[in-house]
Amino acid sequence: MKSRILKSFVLTLIISFFTFNTCAFAEQIGVVDLGKILENYTKSVNARQDLSTQKANLQKFVENARKTVQAAKTQPEKKKLEDKYNAELKQKIATINQQQTQKGQEIQTNIFNTIKTIAEKRQIPNIFTKESLIIGGTDITDEVITTLNASAGTTAK
């Protein structure tokens, strides 16, 4: 009888141990929705708006260059203008690409550093993207957005 009670107690203890570990592990997983962060992070929104403005300016430049080339009277003059505007266009595109790459890297660094800081503060050692986790996890997305925008001097949407 005592052996049966002892076995039952040990079995209950083992089951409790695994259940506790599973619950504890589930609480140690954080999730973030990177899409939502990018949509609501002020620097990201500003970078998208800036890119849109730069694209519109490029389009105007191309239209004006095309008109100028068409207005040229001789073929050598047209060729000279085409070459000039093509070189300018390549330079403008390279500058925009460089600026956007730099902004993108800065935004990514800010996001990942903020996620890491919040995870450490909340003692969550594992952070996954929301898309990679089906069930569970502590969602820290809104806290990340709030922290990012507060450091940029603005509020979240």
Which comes out higher in pLDDT, residue 155 or 134? 134
Within a domain: 127: yes
What's the structural domain count of the chain? 1
Residue 62: the pLDDT is 95
Within a domain: 94: yes
Residue 153: the pLDDT is 73
Within a domain: 69: yes
Within a domain: 7: yes
Residue 99: the pLDDT is 95
Tell me the backbone φ, ψ of residue 122, rounded to 5 degrees: -90, 5
Within a domain: 40: yes
The alpha carbon of 124 is separated from its chain's Cα centroid by a whole number of angstroms, namely: 20
Residue 7: the pLDDT is 54
Within a domain: 156: no
Can you tell me the distance from the alpha carbon of 89 to that of 95, in angstroms, rounded to the nearest whole number? Answer: 10
pLDDT tens digits for 11-24? 454 555 554 444 45
Find tokens 């957005």 and name the residue. Answer: 145
Is the pLDDT reported for residue 146 higher than 50?
Answer: yes
Tell me the backbone φ, ψ of residue 134, rounded to 5 degrees: -80, -50
Which region, left, alpha or beta, applies to residue 50 given φ > 0 means left and ψ of -120 to 50 means alpha? alpha
Can you tell me the distance from the alpha carbon of 44 to that of 108, in angstroms, rounded to the nearest whole number? Answer: 9
Is the pLDDT reported for residue 2 higher than 70?
Answer: no
Within a domain: 157: no
pLDDT tens digits for 65-118? 999 999 998 999 999 999 999 999 999 999 999 999 999 999 999 999 999 999
Is the pLDDT reported for residue 139 higher than 70?
Answer: yes
Can you tell me the distance from the alpha carbon of 30 to that of 66, in angstroms, rounded to the nearest whole number? Answer: 53
Per the structure, the complete domain to which residue 104 belongs is given by: 2-151
pLDDT tens digits for 26-74? 568 999 999 999 999 999 999 999 999 999 999 999 999 999 999 998 9
Within a domain: 95: yes
Q: 137: domain CATH number?
A: 3.30.910.20
